[in-house]
Amino acid sequence: MTDSKKVIAAAIDLLHELDVDPRHPTLRELEGLLQDGPDIAQDAVLNLTAVIKQGGIYEVTDQFGRQINGVHSVAVFKDQHGRDVMQINL
């Protein structure tokens, strides 16, 4: 378990000790954070994959296949050296 997940677990334990209602939104959100996906270190590299289809339709996912929200546009072009570049605007 990463340090951040340990801190979240400790916060949940503290809220339980304080007899916070288990239906409280903050407690539910913390528990959701603890259960969501695999452990990722805060300084980990985030690998994005963009699938671009005809008509300007695109889908951007992370290395775990989770869809990335808040993507405004995706563009593919060649830079001044002729290398392919993919630009994802959030």
Contact 12, 26 (CB under 8 A): no
Domain boundaries, the chain: 3-35, 49-89
| Residue pLDDT, tens place only, 36-48 | 655 555 556 788 8
Question: What pLDDT sits at residue 3?
Answer: 79
CA torsion 46→36→38→89, rounded to 10°?
-10
Task: Report the candidate in 40, 1, 20 with the shortest Cα–Cα distance to residue 11.
Answer: 20
For the whole model, what pTM was predicted? 0.48
| Residue pLDDT, tens place only, 10-33 | 998 998 899 988 888 888 888 888
